[in-house]
Amino acid sequence: MTTTLHDSPFRPPLLSDDLLQGFADRAPGYDRENRFFDEDFRELQAAGYLKLALPADLGGAGLTLAEVAREQRRLAYRAPATALATNMHLYWTGVAADLHRAGDTSLDWLLHEAAAGAVFAAGHGEAGNDLPVMYSSARAERVEGGYRFSGHKIFGSLSPVWTWLGLHAMDTSDPAQPRVVHAFIPRDTPGFRISETWDVLGMRATRSDDTLLDGVFVPDRYVVRVLPADWAGADAFVLNIFAWALINFAHIYAGCAERAFDLTVQSATRKTSVALGGATMAHNPMIQHLVAEMALELEAMLPQIERVASDWSGGVNHGGLWPSKIVAAKYRAVQGARHILGLALDVMGGSGVFRGTEFERLYRDVSMGGVHPANNPLAHEIVGKTHLGLLGASPRWG
């Protein structure tokens, strides 16, 4: 049995099996050396993968979120770190494409830049900011012709290759009405530097280094939103960021879980047992139980994340329930993947712990899933407050 995604209800997958195998073959080296996936990135560019979400009239594939998410899940099945880092660019282009489809042309320039080969990354991560995008520890100071940004951004995936960085920071010039300023800077903007800090438990090949902003000037033409803080500022732009980032994260971690499941089945059907008279471990009732638990988790996880992606792409009107549905899908995928990897390790035994094996890399990748927004506490806050009618209420802890 295999859970790979060859039978898709959408269009045929973009990446060939040969390309995916090449990504899989290079993954151990990237991980071991903690370096960026340069070869993978060039091949993804050549295949048109970075233009998946761009409208067809701009040379893109015109894929919806549901279709992009399935492509990401298929890529993550063989190269999780590559899929995770590439998600930065895909979610910006997806946000711009969805706004364009809705008649909002404010990010059409981004679509044209991406069509010309630009690479977009996100400067959203900040230490101590447990409500990302809607608050910021970075400062935005209004000056003539634009804003100056200062602050410390973390988890800046695609650091070696981005040509545009999406940022947000707080304008607190009116303490009673703080505003979140969303903007983009091109790579040649003075006043920022990248600090090579990336050496973490999982996702090692993403080069998600820190970005330090020291009075970076952003002209008004690259300021795309100035919004109230907290959920009062959750307009279509912000909600699209949550949808495209988190639903793709959900599919990426689901792809990791599917791969771990398949590796576990292979192990159980090949490894023999002295106690079973030389029969494979698949004949052990407890191994059967563990594999069944893994399969049951996948059976619950996959329909949820696919339904949420499909509903978003189909324009289903969930109204104020959308924040809850988005974070719930990501939360369920991460928790399910963690559960599956834990069960898989019970089946694998000692063979699963050796450094550098594919299973060991998957275990580390999945362990980092909770670090991606929305983390466990924030997911529960959003879901609970949504259903209690308190989302966006002030004070936040009320």
Rounded average pLDDT over 298-322: 97
Residue 292's contacts (CB-CB under 8 Å, 6 or more residues apart) are none
- Same domain, yes or no, for 225 and 237? no
User: Are both 257 and 383 inside the same structural domain?
Assistant: yes
Whole-angstrom distance, CA of residue 359 vs CA of residue 46: 29
Residues 155 and 211 in one domain: yes
CA–CA separation, 336 and 300 (whole Å): 9
Residue 7: the pLDDT is 43
Q: Are residues 215 and 261 in the same domain?
A: no
- d(C-alpha 163, C-alpha 359), whole Å: 34
Confidence of residue 6 (pLDDT cuts 50, 70, 90): very low
pLDDT digits (tens, 9 = 90+) for 133-185: 999 999 999 999 999 999 999 999 899 999 999 999 999 999 999 999 999 99
Q: Has residue 398 been placed in a domain?
A: no
Give me 144's structure tokens: 């003539």
Is residue 12 one of the residues assigned to a domain? no
Share of the chain above pLDDT 90, in %: 86
Residue 203 pLDDT: 82
Let me know if residue 5 belongs to a domain. Answer: no
Compute CA 110 distance to the chain's CA centroid, rounded to the nearest angstrom.
Answer: 19
86 pLDDT more than 90 = yes
At residue 4, does pLDDT exceed 50? no
> Does the pLDDT value for residue 1 go beyond 70?
no
291 and 313 belong to one structural domain? yes
Shared domain check, 382 and 267 = yes
Paired tokens of 201: 């438990």
- Residue that is last in its domain, among 78, 95, 115: 115
pLDDT at 245 over 50: yes
Strand partners, 181: 169, 226
Same domain assignment for residues 260 and 215: no
Phi then psi dihedrals of residue 35, to 5 deg: -120, 165
From CA 361, how far away is CA 263, in angstroms rounded? Answer: 12
Please report whether residue 6 resides in a domain. no
* pLDDT tens per residue, range 357-388: 999 999 999 999 998 889 999 999 999 999 99
Could you please report the per-residue DSSP string of 96-111? HHHHHHTT--TTHHHH
Number of domains in the chain: 3
**Confidence class for position 9, pLDDT limits 50, 70, 90:** low
Backbone angles phi, psi at 313, to 5 degrees: -65, -30
What per-residue confidence (pLDDT) applies to 10?
54
Any idea what the CATH number is for the domain that residue 192 is in?
A: 2.40.110.10
Q: SS3 string of 211-247?
A: EEEEEEEEEHHHEEEEEECHHHHCCHHHHHHHHHHHH
Q: Is residue 322 part of a domain?
A: yes
Question: How far is the C-alpha of 89 from the C-alpha of 188, rounded, in Å?
Answer: 18
Among 115, 139, 156, which residue terminates a domain? 115
Question: Could you tell me the pLDDT band of residue 190, with boundaries at 50, 70 and 90?
Answer: very high
What does the pLDDT read at residue 39?
A: 98
Looking up tokens 């209004």 gives 142
Average of per-residue pLDDT values in the chain: 94
Question: Quick one: 240 and 366 in the same domain?
Answer: yes
Q: Are residues 252 and 374 in the same domain?
A: yes
Do residues 261 and 344 make contact, with C-beta atoms less than 8 angstroms apart? yes
Nearest-angstrom CA–CA distance, 125 and 131? 10
Rg (CA), the chain: 21
Over residues 33-42, the pLDDT tens digits come to 999 999 999 9
Same domain, 313 and 344: yes
| Cα separation, 161 vs 121, whole angstroms | 9
Looking at 229, 247, 266, which one is the last position of a domain? 229
Q: For tokens 């069960």, name the residue.
A: 343
Can you give the CATH number for the domain in which 84 is found?
1.10.540.10
**What pLDDT score was predicted for residue 265?**
96
DSSP code string of 139-208 = EEEEETTEEEEEEEEEEETTTTT-SEEEEEEEE-SSTTS-EEEEEEEETT-TTEEEE-----SS-GGG--
Do residue 337 and residue 375 come from a single domain? Answer: yes
pLDDT recorded at residue 274? 76
Whether 134 is covered by a domain: the verdict is: yes
Identify the bridge partners of residue 169 per DSSP, sorted by sequence position: 181
pLDDT at residue 2 in the model: 44
- Domain holding 140, by residue range, is 120-229
Residue position matching structure tokens 């999780």 = 80
In a domain, 7, yes or no: no
More confident residue, 1 or 360: 360
> Domain containing 371 — which CATH number?
1.20.140.10
Average pLDDT over residues 322-336: 98
Q: Residue 294's closest CA among 364, 346, 225? A: 346
Could you tell me the pTM of the whole model? Answer: 0.95
Average pLDDT over residues 27-37: 95
